[in-house]
Amino acid sequence: MISEMTADSIAKPEVQEHRAATIQPYLNPYLAGVGLGFVLLTAFVIMGRGLGASGAFTTVITWILSGIAPTHVAGNPYFKEYLGDGSSSILNSWLVWECIGVIAGGMISGVLAGRLKLDIDHGPRVTHRTRYSTAFLGAMLMGMGAKLALGCTSGQALTGGAVLGLGSWAFMFSVFGGGYAVAYFVRRLWI
Amino acid sequence: MIAPFFKYGLFGDMTGLVFAFIIGIGFGWFLERAGFGSAKKLTAQFYLYDMTVLKVMFTAIVTAMLGLGFLSMIGFLDLSRVYVTPTFLLPQIVGGLLLGIGFVIGGYCPGTSMVAASTGKKDGMVYLLGVAFGIFVYGEIYSSIESFATSTSMGTVIIPEYFGISYSLVMLAVVFMAIGMFLLAEWSEKKFARRRPE
């Protein structure tokens, strides 16, 4: 009798168990890959183009800059090309809408999996401050690299990989090469 | 052939934007489901104890590649109307290296940082700003690196064309390469399992 009651009360701390149960594990990587592959294939079939991310950043940056310093942007050969004749709104950009979708889709998935949480992600040996500065620094390199390569992991590696683009495959191996080459030196950040 | 639908004029630009949003939702959904909203999970790829990045990426590439091949074979889709980014070999190799270095230092790539930020990762939000700043700097220094950025231009060239191998044979080779890498990835995850922090 007593042992039954104890067992019962042990099984009761509902709040914590409930919370733990709502955070779902990640999807099997191969399944996630097939899902992602079908999204990419859908883009090819419907639009004749694949996925992207860094291009949308450039469109938004150009738009912001042209608001702050219109003459500077008009005189800059790189941004001028993104600006076009200036009549086109960023809301007419395919990649901008795709990225708004990415943000929405990521958030919906995160909410449903119980993973939406204000948080900061890094290895156990670094401070938040270090993480913020390295995130910014790494992102800067990423942004410049993506511009030089005409795309990032989405537009070049994933999309260009699937259509067997020569430069895209060269790019993809370089990404892994660059990452593995410096991983050892920055291991403190992550492990 | 009726696909790509947009290229065959089945709908206009505005409808295309609606599809962009829907396709983006699918993209963001699977990135988040795979765990790509977490920098630790993404960078684990470079410390070999969690090879999710490689597995997801190559499964996705193989899926879309075979799908394209099949739809083209049955005459549903015109492959020549699917956009292929032109090849600028050296800039793409150097850009790729920069990107890889930025990836392991910053923890995300542009797409995954959007998912990280939208699920509440503050480092993901900082990362978004960093990408934007990097692009701004690139635009500002562009005139001094333009000759390099536009060098080794080879036009729109795909692997089967360049090496003179049939499209299906290249697809087969990619499938075998992917399977080989998946086997290596599974082995690596077991071998380096104790590197996982915490």
pLDDT per residue rounded down to tens, chain B (198 residues) = 899 999 999 999 999 999 999 999 999 999 999 999 999 999 999 999 999 999 999 999 999 999 999 999 999 999 999 999 999 999 999 999 999 999 999 999 999 999 999 999 999 999 999 999 999 999 999 999 999 999 999 999 999 999 999 999 999 999 999 999 999 999 999 999 999 987
Using a CB-CB cut-off of 8 Å, the residues of chain B touching A135 are 39, 106-108, 123-124, 126-127, 130
Q: Is ipTM beyond 0.95?
A: yes
Mapped to the 3 state alphabet, what secondary structure does B108-167 carry?
CCHHHHHHHHHCCEHHHHHHHHHHHHHHHHHHHHHHHHHHHHCCCEEECCEHHHHHCCCH
Length of chain A: 191
B101 vs A141: CB contact, 8 Å cut-off? yes
Distance of CA A24 to the CA centre of its chain: 20
| CB count in 10 Å sphere of residue B14 | 8
Extract the residue ranges of chain A whose pLDDT is less than 50. 1-9, 12-13
| CB count in 10 Å sphere of residue B74 | 9
Q: Helix, strand, coil proportions of chain A in percent (round to 5)? A: 75, 0, 25
Cα–Cα distance measured from residue B127 to residue B138, given in angstroms and rounded to the nearest whole number = 16
Structure tokens, A143:
């942004």
A105 vs B114: CB contact, 8 Å cut-off? no
Nearest by CB to A97, from B24, B87, B116: name it. B24
Would you say the pTM of this structure is higher than 0.95? no
Cα–Cα distance measured from residue B138 to residue B159, given in angstroms and rounded to the nearest whole number = 29
B88 three-class SS = strand
Using a CB-CB cut-off of 8 Å, the residues of chain A touching B27 are 36, 39-40, 51, 98, 101-102, 105, 154
CB within 8 Å of A3: residues ≥ 6 apart: none
Query: Half-sphere exposure of A134 toward its Cβ, with a 13 Å CA cutoff?
Result: 23
Compute chain A's Rg from CA coordinates.
22
Using a CB-CB cut-off of 8 Å, the residues of chain B touching A41 are 63-64, 67-68
Cα–Cα distance measured from residue B157 to residue B136, given in angstroms and rounded to the nearest whole number = 29
